[in-house]
Structure 1
Amino acid sequence: MEVMEIIKDAFVFPSKDMKTLLIYVLLSLVAAGFSFFGTVVYVLGFVNPECFMWGGMAVIISLLIGWVMYGYLISVIKSGIEQSDEVPGFEWWENFITGFNNFIVTIVYFVIPAFITVIVGYMTNVYGNAMIVAQEIYLQATYSYMGSSSAIAFDAIYQALVNLLFSLTITITVAVVVFVIFSFLQTMAEARLANTGSLSEALNVFEAAKDIRRIGIGKVIILVLLVIIIVAVIEMIFSALFSIIPILSILSIIIAPYLAFFAQRAVGLLYSDIA
């Protein structure tokens, strides 16, 4: 399918079954409620230790509901891969298992770039340079207190800051690049999970990279950027509307899931080229 055909289909798709969308909305509200309640109660545990248990249980329930939602979004991707016009219904246990697998996929595709960033930070001595800056500032503050500050000390601080800025620039640049690359790879991994139902296939980073090449790097980038732009523009428009008419902000509980369905459907249709 062409990119614009994918966008048109994906944007209309969530409206084909508002009942399923509303179930997803309800789940998101319940999950958010348990998460908020659990966090508040857990904090109260510092006053009453028993609250730690209840707060933790509420957060766990929120996480379990979240896995069902995660799994359902994978089924939306699958509907796109199969180019089915029907919005998939909830298969609670299957959605839960798939959601758990997707949770693992998300962690793995986050840990790898995070690990690379840490390695680069170590190689560029970010931590060491930060400690030198802190030490030089401490020494300069001590000298100033004793009335013996000098231009040499300020030069030392300046040089330390230059070194820190250099190492931070390299590390942040590498971090942005690898996190962007792995966000695209994670998108393919979720499509692979939807297509095969296999966690091992989803975690195959090299095959996910090959999938991007099979579809076309340009097509993948264009579609993902278009989806991001459309979602951002819609959210900006509604945010402006909500600021003018605050009571309409209740619509946000439907808008966010609708856009999530739209994005996942687009991914599925994109992957259907090679499925």
Structure 2
Amino acid sequence: MEVMEIIKDAFVFPSKDMKILLIYVILSVVAGLFSLGGTFAYILGFIVPEFFMWGGMAVIISMLIGWVLYGYLVSVIKSGIEQSDEVPQFEWWENFITGFNNFIVTIVYFVIPAFITVVVGYATDIVGNFVIVCEEIYLQTTGVYMGASSDIALNALSQALTNLAISLSITIFVAIIAFVIFSFLQTMAQARLANTGSLSEALNVFEAAKDISRIGVGKVIILVILVIVVIGVVEVILSAIFAIIPILSILSLIVSPYLAFFAQRAVGLLYSDIA
């Protein structure tokens, strides 16, 4: 399918079964309430220790519901891969298992760029340079340089700040590149999970990279950018409306899942080119 066809189809798709969207919204609200209640219970736990247990139970329930929702989004991707016009129904146990697998995929594809960032940060000695900057500031504020030229003190601090800035710049640049690349790979991994139902296939980073090549790097980038633009435009328009009529902000409970369905459907339709 052409990119604009994908965008049009994906944007209309969630409205084809508002009942399913409503179920997703209700589950999202319930999960959010359990998460909020669990957090509040943990805070109370410092006063009444028994609340720690209730907080833990609430968080676990929220997480379990979240996995069902996370798994359902994979089924939306699958509907796109199969180019089905029907909004998938909730398959509770299957959605739960798929959601857990999707959670694992997300963690793995997040850990890899995070690890790369840590390695680069270590190689550029961010911590060491930061310590040196702190030491230089301490030496100047405590008057250790009183007997020396002020130029020496300033030059030492300036050099330390320069080294820290270089370390941070390199690390941040690499981090941005790594996370962007793995965000694309994660998108392909989720599509592979939807297409095969196999966690091992989804975790195959090299095959996920090949999928991007098979579809076309340009097409993948253009679609992702268009999806982001559409979501951004919708949110900006709604934010302006909500600012004028605050009570309508409750509609965001429906709009956010709608846009999530839109994005996942678009991924599935994109992946259908090679499925």
Alignment TM-score > 0.5, same fold? yes
1:239 and 1:138 map into 2 onto residues whose CA distance is 46
Does 1:9 pair with 2:9?
A: yes
The equivalent of 1:246 in structure 2 is 246
Query: In the alignment, what sits opposite 1:165?
Result: 165
User: Does structure 1 residue 58 correspond to structure 2 residue 53?
Assistant: no
Q: Partner of 1:68 in structure 2?
A: 68
**Matches for 1:95-114 after TM superposition, within 5 Å:** 95-114=95-114
* Deviation, structure 1 residue 151: 2.7
Secondary structure (helix, strand or coil) at the match of 2:85 reads: coil
Give the secondary-structure state (helix, strand or coil) at the position aligned to 1:84: coil
CA deviation string 1:118-142 (max 9, x = no partner): 0001111111101111111111111
Unaligned runs of at least 5 residues, structure 2: none
* CA–CA distance in structure 1, aligned partners of residues 241 and 165 of structure 2: 41
- Whether 1:34 and 2:34 are equivalent positions in the alignment is yes
1:128 alignment partner in structure 2: 128
Q: What amino acid is aligned across from residue 11 of structure 1 in structure 2?
A: F
Q: Could you tell me how far apart the structure 2 residues matched to 1:148 and 1:112 are?
A: 49
Distance (whole Å) between structure 2 residues aligned to residue 61 and residue 158 of structure 1: 52
What's the offset of the Cα at 1:17? 0.1
Structure 1: 4+ residue segments shifted above 6 A: none
So what's the TM-score if we normalise by structure 2? 0.98
Aligned AA (1:39): T
Deviations 1:229-262 (A, max 9, x none): 1101101110111011001001000000000000
SS at match of 1:256: helix
Residue 185 of structure 1 corresponds to which residue in structure 2?
185
In structure 1, what is the equivalent of residue 82 of structure 2? 82
Q: Percent identity?
A: 77
**Structure 1 stretches lacking a partner, 5+ long:** none
Matched, 1:237 2:237: yes
Equivalent position amino acid for 2:165 in 1:
L
What residue is the counterpart of 2:265 in the other structure?
265
Please give the per-residue CA displacement for 1:92-127, whole angstroms capped at 9, x wherever unaligned.
Answer: 000000000000000000000000000001111111
Per-residue deviation, 1:148: 5.3
Structure 1 window deviating more from structure 2 (189-198 vs 129-138): it is 129-138
Q: Report the CA distance between 1:54 and its aligned residue.
A: 0.7
In 2, Cα distance between equivalents of 1:54 and 1:22 = 28
Distance between the aligned counterparts of 1:249 and 1:24, measured in 2? 18
1:45 pairs with 2:51: no
C-alpha root-mean-square deviation of aligned residues, in Å?
1.1
